[in-house]
Amino acid sequence: MAETVSTPVENPSRRDFIYIATGAAGAVGVGLYAWPLIDQMNPAADTKALSTIEVDMSGVEVGQQIVVKWQGKPIFVRHRTQKEINEARAVDVSTLRDPQTDEQRLVVNAEGKYEPQFLIMIGICTHLGCVPIGNNSGDYDGWFCPCHGSHYDTAGRIRKGPAPKNLYLPPYQYLTDTLIKIG
């Protein structure tokens, strides 16, 4: 520049340092500011507060299924008949696509015993998220997904159709023999 008055040349690295420090501080600030903008889309406190529910199964008759909503998803609570239990246990597990025994589909109660009559599952087809039809539907007397024709047996295991996995189990525990806490 024409009017530049000659000043003693300073070590240029000092200038570089202040630029780098400023840039770094700015980058850190933007990064920290971005987190609230992202985190606000995560589940809010009231949503999280409803993430556990208790289900009383004493009113569910043998052969009946109730559907409760947990975290926005349908939960199938089925009171199985002895016939359904027997069918589920008669299968050769090694032939299954997603091998699981019937007991692996259950959770022990407060005394450490299984309650095989109660089957609790997330009612969402593992193929593409439709809700299967219950009441001994499909080729295996369990559930049948109308979207793409997946058949589940009386333990909710995938037997036929495109779904890759058995119906998922929600995290739950028995509070009493007929009262469970999901979540």
Residues carrying an active site annotation: 148
**Interatomic CA distance for residues 59 and 87, integer angstroms:** 24
| Cβ-proximal residues to 81 (8 Å cutoff; 6+ apart), any chain | 62, 63
Which residues of the shown chain bind other proteins in the complex (CB under 8 A)? 1-5, 7, 15, 18-19, 21-22, 25-26, 29, 32, 36-37, 39-42, 44-47, 49-50, 52, 59
Locus of tokens 């000092």: 14
| Cβ-proximal residues to 170 (8 Å cutoff; 6+ apart), any chain | 70, 75, 120, 121, 122, 182, 183
Locus of tokens 């969402």: 124
Instruction: Give residue 126's identity as a one-letter amino acid code.
Output: T
**Interatomic CA distance for residues 37 and 180, integer angstroms:** 37
**Interatomic CA distance for residues 157 and 167, integer angstroms:** 6
- CB burial of residue 145 (10 Å; 0-12, 13-18, 19+): buried
**Interatomic CA distance for residues 24 and 30, integer angstroms:** 10
